[in-house]
């Protein structure tokens, strides 16, 4: 089959692209606008593969979408393109509404037009076409300490402009399925981590700041709880849902790894200490990485706890994560130690400068 993946140069999208090229015989069309979080360096290992094509386009551009559908004739759309950082959504919410709501609307409409045309010219292909929308557990709001995890029936209660915009996109997908019959499936995932994660996020930021001897910022008291999902486990789950899930179904994908933010930071420090032989020399005068932990003013409206009940996907599709948090985090720390060129190009802006130069 041919997959059209939006946001395929992002963190999760690039993991899906690599998994499809490395572990399946499917073809991939990667549609990405290449905003600050889109990085083609993350796809260097597959960029010249004959089953991979890159399209530099914006999901808000209806004409570009129409052309891409016409040229590539995908069998499955996997929609990952989104503005996704809560802090950025607080600073500038309109960009999140534009991309996550309006962009999803335009992609749904492009998919619907393409699918209706397929029904006329290639009914068999139209019968197997599907639109897979990838969302977040943040649309459900937060949980008290003893509450059970989010299920697929949990009511929506988003807390931030980011999660509200993603909730809006989820509602659009369900509406297009019910009103127009568009063949859709949906997934809501917990916090991802792993290789190629943009350095503004908690885990890579902590790793790289520790290596540089910089403060390790922790919001509030650090007691916020997240369920952590290794990105390669998530990529395998997404492909399984896209290929096997019954139409109209929704699945929560989680790592079964609830951790307080402060404990995540402590474990990163401990992992760096355990890998001491591979770690660059500590900054002078620093005895332990945990000494760099700095508590900062909490984020407005910060959700207390997320937790995913992933029983449905295990029961229906047989998916379970392979990594524990400890094994996945060790792999993640090791990857950042082994690939300084990737994150140094982000931190000094070279990855954007070279890309922009090539586009002129």
Sequence spans of domains, the chain: 2-359
Please give the span between the terminal C-alpha atoms of the chain, in angstroms, as a whole number: 33
Give the rounded percent of residues in the chain with a pLDDT score beyond 90: 90
DSSP state of 151: -
User: Would residue 289 show up in a list of annotated catalytic residues for this protein?
Assistant: no
In this prediction, residues 294-319 reach a mean pLDDT of 95
Q: Give backbone dihedrals phi and psi of 192, rounded to 5 degrees, phi first.
A: -90, 155
pLDDT of residue 351: 79
Tokens of 211: 């290596």
Strand partners, 308: 150
pLDDT band at 276 (very low <50, low <70, confident <90, very high): confident
In this prediction, residues 194-199 reach a mean pLDDT of 96
CATH classification for the domain delimited by 2-359, as one of 3.40.50.300, 3.40.50.970, 3.40.50.720, 3.40.50.150: 3.40.50.720
Residue-averaged pLDDT of the chain: 94
pLDDT band at 355 (very low <50, low <70, confident <90, very high): very low
Indicate the pTM of the whole model: 0.94
Of 19, 137, 142, 227, the active-site residue reads: 137
pLDDT of residue 354: 53
Query: Which residue has tokens 């999140």?
Result: 96
**How many angstroms separate the CA atoms of 58 and 102, rounded?**
11
User: Would residue 162 show up in a list of annotated catalytic residues for this protein?
Assistant: yes
pLDDT of residue 156: 98
Q: What is the pLDDT of residues 49-88, one digit of tens each?
A: 999 999 999 999 999 999 999 999 999 999 999 998 888 9
In this prediction, residues 8-20 reach a mean pLDDT of 98
Which residue blocks in the chain are alpha helix, DSSP H? Answer: 11-23, 62-72, 86-91, 93-96, 104-121, 123-128, 161-180, 202-212, 231-244, 261-274, 311-317, 325-338, 340-347, 350-359
Query: Residue 162 in 3-state DSSP?
Result: helix
Looking only at Cα atoms, what is the longest distance across the chain?
Answer: 71
| Strand (E) or helix (H) holding 138 | none
pLDDT of residue 360: 24
Q: Are 173 and 104 in contact (CB under 8 A)?
A: yes
**How many angstroms separate the CA atoms of 163 and 140, rounded?**
8
Count CB atoms within 10 A of the CB of residue 135: 23
Of 32, 41, 138, 323, the active-site residue reads: 138
Q: Are 270 and 288 in contact (CB under 8 A)?
A: no
User: Would residue 147 show up in a list of annotated catalytic residues for this protein?
Assistant: no
Of 52, 114, 162, 306, the active-site residue reads: 162
Q: What is the pLDDT of residues 231-271, one digit of tens each?
A: 999 999 999 999 999 999 999 999 999 999 999 999 999 99
Whole-number Cα distances in Å, 309 to 11, 105, 136: 23, 28, 13
């Amino acid at each position: 089959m041919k997959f059209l993946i939006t946001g395929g140069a992002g963190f999760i999208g690039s993991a899906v692209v690599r998994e499809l090229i490395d572990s399946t015989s499917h073809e991939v069309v990667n549609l990405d606008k290449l905003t600050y979080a889109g990085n083609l360096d993350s796809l260097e290992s597959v960029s010249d593969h004959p089953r991979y094509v890159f399209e530099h386009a914006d999901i808000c551009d209806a004409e570009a979408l129409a052309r891409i559908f016409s040229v590539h004739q995908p069998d499955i759309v996997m929609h990952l393109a989104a503005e996704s950082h809560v802090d950025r959504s607080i600073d500038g919410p309109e960009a999140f509404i534009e991309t996550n709501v309006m962009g999803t609307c335009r992609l749904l409409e492009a998919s619907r037009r393409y699918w209706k045309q397929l029904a006329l010219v290639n009914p068999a292909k139209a019968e197997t076409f599907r639109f897979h929308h990838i969302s977040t557990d943040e649309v459900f709001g937060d949980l008290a300490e003893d509450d059970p995890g989010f299920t697929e029936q949990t009511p929506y209660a988003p807390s931030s402009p980011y999660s509200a915009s993603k909730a809006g996109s989820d509602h659009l997908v369900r509406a297009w399925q019910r009103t127009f019959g568009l063949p859709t499936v949906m997934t809501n995932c917990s916090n991802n981590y792993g290789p190629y994660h943009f350095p503004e996020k908690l885990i890579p930021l902590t790793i790289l700041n520790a290596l540089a001897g910089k403060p390790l910022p922790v919001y509030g008291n650090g007691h916020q709880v997240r369920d952590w999902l290794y990105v390669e486990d998530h990529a395998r789950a997404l492909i399984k849902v896209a290929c096997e899930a019954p139409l109209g179904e929704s699945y929560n994908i989680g790592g079964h790894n609830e951790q307080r933010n402060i404990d995540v930071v402590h474990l990163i420090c401990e992992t760096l200490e355990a890998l001491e032989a591979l770690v660059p020399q500590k900054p002078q005068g620093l005895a332990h990485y945990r000494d760099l932990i700095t508590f900062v003013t909490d984020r407005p409206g910060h959700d207390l706890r997320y937790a995913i009940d992933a029983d449905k996907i295990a029961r229906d599709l047989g998916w379970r994560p392979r990594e524990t948090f400890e094994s996945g985090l060790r792999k993640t720390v090791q990857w950042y130690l082994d690939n300084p060129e990737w994150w140094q190009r982000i931190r000094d802006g070279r990855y954007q400068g070279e890309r922009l130069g090539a586009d002129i």
